[in-house]
Chains A and B, each alone.
Chain A
Amino acid sequence: MEGDIAEMGKYIGVGLTAIGMGGAAIGVGNIAGNFLSGALRNPSAAAGQTAMLFIGIAFAEALGIFSFLVALLLMFAV
């Protein structure tokens, strides 16, 4: 029974870490949206900045990846 409760807590914790990925999604959406609004204002400058767009997305995504990492650790390592 005790093991079951610990198991349950583990799964709840894993579910909660999914919220962190939602934060990463907000960040990535923010970056892409701001890029698009900037690109629509000055389309000629947009082409040179796509690399920066992807770098920014990658950095924002990294924090979502950490929550994914925490979920993996909880599921399989704890």
Chain B
Amino acid sequence: MAGENGGLEIRPMDQFEVKALFGGDVSWYTPTNVTLWMALTVVAASALMIYGARGRALVPSRAQSAAEMTYGFIYNMVKDVAGHDAVRFFPHVFTLFMFVLFANLLGLIPFAFTTTSHIAVTAVLAFTVFLSVTALGFILNGTKFLGLFWVSSAPLALRPVLALIELISYFARPISHSIRLAGAMMAGHAVAKVFAGFAGALGAAFFVPVLAVTALYALELLVAVIQAYVFTILTCVYLKDALHPSH
């Protein structure tokens, strides 16, 4: 799209293309760069949580300390946000966090493919959370789960209106949940690519966009972690709504 008028040829979206690893068409089971980078995500997460913590030392090494801090961070998040009875869903939330965090971080490696920049991926994650939380809400609370939409603290006349708004916002959750993550990842990577393209086009003044990309890279690192955090904490908030629907 950017290179239609010749001159500057920057194709910021090319990095998001799904390609078969060994050539050929992409069918549902073809190993693609998606497969590769998701596998690397699993490897990286396992490396931190298993290889890093392999010493099981009382006085932890640096890697073990990082693994334990990640564990404690997510554990306390689940406990504080979703309540004590949500701790049994801690492994699920933790898996989600590790996947999103490492997919985001690995995507920052130059020439890497960012799996979480694809709406298909984040939408599956978000709808998995949405559907399982909704099902959990009905299984645990029965029809009382619908009390989530009936704001009993509001005046009676306002309640139907509020119920409508709550209902819409409830179904908007997975959309914002998924597009937030994909949008943040995609936008950051596309901007980085555009700036990097400027470096090639500017010739002698190449260091200006290189400095800009360096600064942007630091920001992207922050965004990668914060988006993983936000994705997880929102999951915890939805989980809390399912476990304790009354406001």
Contacts and interface: CB of A to CB of B under 8 A. Distances in A.
**Do the two chains touch directly in the complex (Cβ atoms below 8 Å apart)?**
yes
Contacts, number: 34
A51 B81 contact: yes
Interface in B26-81: 77, 80-81
A67 to B, nearest CB: 11
B179 A65 contact: yes
Interface string A53-70: 011011001100110110
A62 B80 contact: no
A61 B176 CA distance: 8
Interface in B70-98: 77, 80-81
Contacts of B80: 51
Contact of A65 (B180, B226, B233, B234): B180
Indicate the size class of the contact surface on chain A: 10 to 19
Interface in B209-247: 226, 229-230, 233-234, 237
A55 B234 contact: yes
Nearest to B179: A65
A60 B75 CA distance: 26
Interface in A36-78: 51, 54-55, 57-58, 61-62, 65-66, 68-69
B93 to A, nearest CB: 14
Given A62-B172, A69-B175, A55 B233 contact: yes
A66 B172 contact: yes
Interface residues of B, number: 15
Given A51-B81, A62-B172, A68 B179 contact: yes
Nearest to A75: B1
A24 B150 CA distance: 27
A69 B233 contact: no
B183 interface: yes
A54 B80 CA distance: 14
A73 to B, nearest CB: 11
A58 B230 contact: yes
B44 to A, nearest CB: 24
A58 B178 CA distance: 12
B180 A62 contact: yes
Nearest to A48: B80
A69 B177 CA distance: 12
14 contacts: A51-B77, A51-B80, A51-B81, A51-B233, A54-B233, A55-B233, A62-B180, A65-B175, A65-B176, A66-B172, A66-B175, A68-B179, A68-B183, A69-B179
The 8 residue pairs across chains A and B that have the minimum distance between CB atoms: A62-B176, A65-B176, A65-B179, A58-B230, A65-B180, A68-B183, A58-B234, A54-B230
Given A51-B80, A58-B233, A61-B180, 4 more contacts: A51-B81, A61-B176, A65-B183, A66-B172
